[in-house]
Amino acid sequence: MVTVKIHNVVANEDHKWWYCWDGTEGVFSLEFVQKLLADNPDETDFKFDIHCPGGEVAEGLAIYDCLRTSGKNIHMNIEGDCHSMAVTLLLAAPAKNRSANPNCSALIHKVYGCAYAGTADDLEKAAEETRTLQNKILNIYAERTNKSLEELQEIMNEEKIRTAEELLEWGFISRINSYNTNFKTNSNMAKVKNLKQAATDLLSRINAFLNQEEQATNFEHTDEDGTVLFTTESEDDTLEVGMAASPDGTFTLPDGRTVTIADGAISEIKEPEAEEDDETNLSEEVERLKAENAQLRSMLEEATNLIEDFKKETRSNFKPKGRTNSTKEAPTPTREERKAGIKEKIKNAKK
């Protein structure tokens, strides 16, 4: 599996210079994805870890289409942020291959366009193009999640940061990753190894016990001399009325049962008449079942003890030291501040 980081802004390679103004190193582009696939022609699985602020809609849609038509197994995982166009890239993977870390965040919002000058017709054209791009994204959301277009439009209009739980509920991801660290580090490794071996041995014994009587008769039912009387379409010597069997006729089995076959199926199974030793046989069967029950209880108790031992050896004993957490968060720029920043970059670029 090839693992790739989507940590840069989604943008065309020709626009890389623009995003370098704020210290960004490179962009995540269609050109990069195409080269990645070309450099790994024999690789079938590609995993993308997302921590991305979003980016250009047209470029993101092109990357989405590239991944969806690549013939590869695509996996997407949100490491941190999955904002804006990155949400669409997330959906390039099938639902079962989409995951997220517990503390991730996703921003779903309406498409932003730029139109600073021009006639009313120019502005209307720009607005229509923006709506077209937004509808494309909404259609992808609806196709790849559990939400309708109307519900997704409402979510998009709210322009809120979404949690991993919300993404899971709405079908943007199929699972939230579990933590696999902070386990007990001073375990006796030899003891753990012995526990694993004991568990393996127990499973082998249970399997042997459960299968000790599975002896297939090859569908052939014979008399006491071994002569085949009839055959059934079954994996064992089970007989049931209605079961397919051949040939037609009435046959007496060694255990005394009489089986009647008509039109290729068992029509009647007649039990043998009671014999004097039936009570003895029943008593022996009861004793056999008691012995099996005791054996199963013993293995169940052994399995329970093994599980408890495993839990003791993997339970965390980590205790964090006292620390002070800051509750301050960096202020989120308003839409007007973002527009002002873009205008300032354009102004500086023309100088």
Please report the pLDDT score of residue 278 as a whole number: 59
Report the DSSP pairing between strands 220-222 and 228-232: antiparallel
| Residue 109 appears among annotated catalytic residues | yes
214 and 236 in contact (C-beta within 8 Å)? yes
End of a domain among 117, 152, 181? 181
* 259 & 142 share domain: no
Q: What is the CATH number of the domain that holds 15?
A: 3.90.226.10
Q: Is residue 122 in a domain? A: yes
pLDDT of res. 307: 76
What distance in Å separates the CA atoms of residue 81 and residue 173, rounded to the nearest whole number?
14
pLDDT value for 34: 95
Percentage of residues in the chain having pLDDT higher than 90: 37
pLDDT of residue 75: 96
In a domain, 287, yes or no: no
User: What does the pLDDT read at residue 330?
Assistant: 45
- Exposure letters 284-297 (e unless 16+ CB within 10 A, then b): eeeeeeeeeeeeee
**Nearest one of 255, 256, 264 to 233, comparing CA atoms:** 264
Mean pLDDT of 282-297: 79
- The answer to whether residues 17 and 164 belong to one domain is yes
Candidates 118, 83, 135; CA nearest to 332 is 83
Instruction: State which of 15-29, 74-88, 197-211, 292-306 shows the largest mean pLDDT.
Output: 74-88
Residue 167: name the closest of 235, 81, 290, 247 by CA: 81
Active site (annotated) includes residue 51: no
101-110, 209-218, 255-264, 308-317: range with lowest mean pLDDT: 209-218
In a domain, 338, yes or no: no
- In 319-335, which positions are buried (b, 16+ CB within 10 angstroms) versus exposed (e)? eeeeeeeeeeeeeeeee
Q: Which residue in the list 51, 75, 83, 109 is annotated as catalytic?
A: 109
pLDDT of residue 230: 86
pLDDT of residue 218: 46
> Do 162 and 265 lie in a common domain?
no
How high is the pLDDT of residue 324? 43
In a domain, 189, yes or no: no
Active-site annotation holder among 29, 75, 83, 84:
84
- Over residues 93-140, the pLDDT tens digits come to 999 999 999 999 999 998 876 666 667 777 778 778 888 888 899 999
Give all strands (DSSP E) within 194-233, no chain letters. Answer: 220-222, 228-232
Using pLDDT thresholds of 50, 70 and 90, give the confidence band for residue 198: confident
* Summary mean pLDDT of the chain: 80
Whether 318 has a pLDDT exceeding 90, the answer reads no
Residue 329 pLDDT > 90? no
Of the three residues 270, 301, 336, the one that is the final residue of a domain is 270
Instruction: Report the pLDDT value the prediction gives residue 215, as an integer from 0 to 100.
Output: 43
Q: Give how far the C-alpha of residue 133 lies from the chain's centroid of Cα atoms, to the nearest Å.
A: 30
90: left (phi over 0), alpha (psi -120 to 50) or beta: alpha
Residue 206 to residue 342: CA distance in whole angstroms:
69
Q: Is residue 288 part of a domain?
A: no
Residue 151: inside a domain: yes
Residue 173 above 80 pLDDT? yes
User: Sign of the CA dihedral 42, 47, 50, 55?
Assistant: positive
Task: Give pLDDT tens digits for 203-222.
Answer: 777 776 666 544 444 468 88
Its domain, for residue 135, covers: 2-181
Give how many domains the chain has, as a whole number.
2
pTM, to two decimals: 0.52
Tell me the pLDDT tens digit for each residue of 42-66.
999 999 999 999 989 999 999 999 9
User: Does residue 227 sit in the same domain as residue 167?
Assistant: no
Q: pLDDT for 13-28, tens place per residue?
A: 887 777 665 555 688 9
Does 167 map to a domain? yes
pLDDT of 313: 63
Position 299 scores a pLDDT of 79
Q: What does the pLDDT read at residue 109?
A: 92
Q: Over the stretch 222-238, which tens digit does the pLDDT of each residue have? A: 888 888 888 887 777 78
> Is a pLDDT exceeding 60 seen at residue 339?
no
Residue 66: predicted pLDDT: 95
Average pLDDT over residues 1-23: 81
